[in-house]
Structure 1
Amino acid sequence: MSDRPGGIVVVTGTGTDVGKTVVTAALAAVALAGGVRTAVLKPAQTGVGPGDPGDADTVAALVPGVTVRELARYPDPLAPATAARRVGRAPVTPHDAAAAARELAGDHELVLVEGAGGLLVRFDDDGGTLADVAGLLGAPVVVVAAAGLGTLNHTALTVEALHARGLACAGVVVGAWPDTPDLAAQCNLADLPAATGVPLLGALPAGLGAAPPERFGIVACHTLGPSPLRRWQDAGS
């Protein structure tokens, strides 16, 4: 097996505001630090107006040198299907997202596809979801989880939904580890792998998204290690 991660990896969350964008940026930073040509795809951005920075812009600011692409944005902070319908615009379908990811994979060694909200949030009114994108691509999925009480159930449900669809889970990342973790958060570090049956790839410190790029890259590499996706690949081989 190559020392470099490769292909396409989908990043989802157990819900909103769990740190998907920061985790996506951190995985990109680790890959770029290892000399891996990396792109990040945001199929549908919601809750952001024209000219305002979205998640892809956040990744680009945190990780100089990464390629970013956003397919569509809708102003209302809603599920992509609902947000597109409200403004009378065409939604981004799973097939659209998969095609864009494959195109980026033509000249990048790693493509990270960041979803909106959780795994089963609808992209379109036909019921397409990020799980369908991963299925079309045959891509493993990284699950971003919260640190505290309740995360075991939410994360286990997400991983179970992946497995029920025949999709591989590359592991879990805690998106925002608090400065002073409570008892539940501390116990969850050990309990998440047991509850989900997949590796815990790391826990990023809360507030990391506000760090300057150089500091962000250093912390990402220190926290996730030199090749978090390789560790998952090794575990499955």
Structure 2
Amino acid sequence: MPVLVVTGTGTEVGKTVVTAALAAAARAASRTVAVLKPAQTGVAPGEPGDVAEVRRLAGGAVTGEELARFPEPLAPGTAAARAGLSPVRPPEIAQAAARLAESHDLVLVEGATLADAARLIAAPVLLVAQAGLGTLNTTALTAEALRARGLRCRGVVIGSWPAAPDLAMRCNLADLPEVAGAPLLGAVPEGAGSLPPEAFRTAAPTWLAPELAGTWDAAGFAAAHR
């Protein structure tokens, strides 16, 4: 099944922009793409959420679907409980992903706490991580949690790479794949989400490795930042 689960090692690590880059790179490779957001939190009815942002950056040809929306900016289960609504269950996510996969070359399932859904879908997981100090610990723990559930970590993408990385960030280029037990598959520049959509779509493949339909070279990138 052509499904990839995109999750992060924490909040505000760049999951949505990375998902948009993945969608844009796949579209540039002439693949049909759907983005599934199981639970959108912290957004009022009628306001654009993460799916709308992905489609804005990657292009309207990307199919977008949201399964539920909860008003408070909390973890999905907590937000659902406080709103008096039912949470989105892993079987619902798996069924929606399977349905979208029937008519798309790639389905990106983006969000937090998706391990149980990923296991039902039998989909690999892409980790979006921070660049700087502390990221090795959170990446190692997240990767370990995935392995404990029998899930495959497809790789790691740095969600926001600064123009002037510090020493810890540069060292993390070599250390992140080691602690994750999976390759480093990209680095999205800081502020990429603020680019005009056309510029974003043109540049997106250069931020991602060939395994993700891009042209980014991990070894060359690391060598340039020694």
The alignment's TM-score, normalised by the length of structure 2, stands at 0.91
Distance 2:125 2:213 in 1: 10
What do residues 136-191 of structure 1 show as CA deviations (whole Å, max 9, x unaligned)?
Answer: 00000000000000001100111111111110110000000012111100110111
Alignment-mate amino acid for residue 39 of structure 1: A
Say which of 72, 75, 82 aligns to 2:71. Answer: 75
| Partner-residue secondary structure (3-state), 2:203 | helix
Unaligned runs of 5+ in 1: 1-5, 122-129, 232-237
Q: Unpaired segments of 5 or more residues in structure 2?
A: 216-226
1:73-104 CA distance string (max 9 Å, x none): 11101011110111111111111111111110
Alignment partner of 1:134 is 2:107: no
5 Å-filtered alignment, 1:73-152, equals 73-116=69-112, 121=113, 130-152=114-136
* Alpha-carbon distance between aligned partners in 1 of 2:213 and 2:148, rounded to the nearest angstrom: 22
Aligned equivalent of 1:177: 161
Contact 2:6–2:108 at 8 Å: present in 1 too? yes
Aligned to 2:36, the other structure's residue is in SS state: strand
Q: Within 2, Cα distance between the matches of 1:197 and 1:97?
A: 26
**Residue 107 of structure 2: SS of its match in structure 1?**
strand
How far off its partner does 1:9 sit? 0.5
- SS of 1:172's equivalent in the other structure is strand
Post-superposition CA distance 1:36-83 (Å, at most 9, x none): 111000000001111111100100100111111011111101011110
Aligned residues: CA RMSD: 1.5
Report the number of matched residues.
214
**Cα distance, 1:228 vs structure 2:** 2.1
Instruction: State the shift of 1:230 in Å.
Output: 9.3
Match of 2:139 among 155, 162, 181: 155
How many angstroms apart in 2 are the aligned matches of 1:223 and 1:51? 32
SS at match of 2:151: coil
1:59 to 43, 54, 58: 54
3-state DSSP of counterpart to 1:148:
coil
The structure-2 alpha-carbon separation of the partners of 1:169 and 1:230, relative to structure 1 and needing over 3 Å to count, comes to: farther
Name the CA distance, whole Å, in 2 between partners of 1:134 and 1:109: 18
8 Å CA contact retained: 1:30, 1:226: no
Q: In the aligned structure 1, how far is the partner of 2:175 from the partner of 2:209?
A: 21
Q: Percent identity?
A: 62
Find the aligned partners of 2:208 and 2:56 in 1 and give their Cα distance.
20
